[in-house]
Amino acid sequence: MLCKSVYIMLFSVLLCNSNAVLAQAEEEFTTTDKDKFQDYFFEALKQKGIENYDKAIVSLEKCLKLEPKNATIHFELGKNYFAQKNYSNAISSFEDASRIDPTNKWFLIGVYDVNYATKDYLGGIATIKKLIPLDSKFKEDLTSLYMNTSQFDKALDLINDLNETVGKSDRRESYKIQILSQGKFQKSEIENLVDLIKSSPKEESNYVSLIYLYSKNNQVEKVLETARKLEKEIPTSVWAQVSLFKYHLENNDGLNAVKSMNLVLESTKVVDSKIKHRMLNEFLLFVNNNPEFTSDLEKAVSYFDNDPEINVSKELGKFYHTKKQFDKAIKYYELSNQKTDKIDVETNFLLLQAYVDAKQFEIVAKKATDFVDLFPNQSQFYYFSGLAYNQLGQFKKAKDMLEMGMDFVVNDNTLEINFNIQLGEAYNGLGDTTKKELYFSKANQLLKK
């Protein structure tokens, strides 16, 4: 959206203008003309104040007959026409005022208001270029106009100029991202950033932007070259380590990768948590093939203890679970439980499944039964308890748990199948062939659905 310039003409300013008008009138008018001019002018102000724009315009036209080259009267006419949305007359009046007094920015702002209201953005550009020498803040408006008219090369040049002279802004940075998403503008921006780094080698943001562009273009060597320059100029820069970390991993340099990763994770500077999570995931894959760095992984995980966005220990548990490394999965699920006072049901479902996969059924029976007491409506805890008791040969306990838990199975076909299978196993262990066949038959019927 364009930055809308809103003109504000206080009543006191208008009075000052009116005094100037009247002073001039003293020289040119007879006493009668001067009185008429004053009456018409203040009548126009009064009518405009109560939104009787037609009457205000009539009074202002009478003023113009007495003094046709009075810029203030033309300006007031423009404002009344603008209020009526009579844009053709409004812009004509504002332009007349500006031609009479080209140094008054408010007259040009009136023209720009009409350009904006009529979506005449090319006209707006022409107007803003006249305004900028009178008030440089209108360069911001020009940036928006260039974006709106797809003059991205001019917009980029102006954005870079403003970034250097007045500092960055969120709006301009958003525009810049939009422009640089088009590859043809990236080369000129890269050249601009290289020059900025030469002239201001301690400005970290320029290195970061340059690394981002090189990365988008898969210029790995340039990324590393820029990261090393950043590290040399600003040894404490976290952003240099973000880039170097990936380079070290690709070169199987675990020691330096750990060093870079820890500098990023330890930093209190604003590094997006998603970047930190990505680094941890990449290091996790590295450790999977280089287990000698397991202790470094555990240290890295500890940095996320208070991360509100993601339970890193739980995610690590899932990772090792899919790798069928059940002992490690159990370790991180248990660690996840230790880091919060609130019991996470999903984590404990995963934990019990990991214990089952590791064939540690005594622990499953104990934990699942305890969870049944805490969450009597959670059918899966009954299931894990019954499964464990079956594996331990305690078929009566298995039957009792499974029959109680079956009442809480709702709209979960897979779980219902598993309940029936385990009930069949329990009755088989108890020697009840009829009920064994009944539950196995139910499981088969559900499988066919």
| Domains of the chain by residue range | 1-114, 236-310, 360-449
Interhelix angle 294-302/254-266, nearest 10 degrees:
10
Say how many CA atoms lie within 13 Å of 357 toward its Cβ: 17
Asked if 387 and 422 touch (Cβ cutoff 8 Å), the reply is yes
CATH code, 1-114: 1.25.40.10
Span 360-449: which CATH code?
1.25.40.10
Alpha-helical (H) ranges within 311-394 are 312-322, 326-338, 345-357, 361-374, 379-391
Residue listed under structure tokens 């009046």: 93
Instruction: Examine domains 1-114 and 360-449 and report if their fold is the same.
Output: yes
pLDDT by position in tens, the chain (length 449): 444 333 333 333 343 444 444 444 444 445 577 888 888 999 999 999 999 999 999 999 999 999 999 999 999 999 999 999 999 999 999 999 999 999 999 999 999 999 999 999 999 999 999 999 999 999 999 999 999 898 988 998 898 889 888 888 889 988 887 887 777 778 888 888 888 899 889 888 888 888 878 877 777 788 888 888 888 888 878 888 888 898 899 899 999 999 999 988 888 766 777 788 888 989 988 988 898 998 898 888 888 877 767 788 888 899 889 889 999 999 999 988 887 778 889 999 999 999 999 999 999 999 999 999 999 999 999 999 999 999 999 999 999 999 999 999 988 999 999 999 999 999 999 999 999 999 999 999 988 87
Q: What is the pLDDT of residue 173?
A: 84
Look up residue 202 and give its two tokens: 């301690």
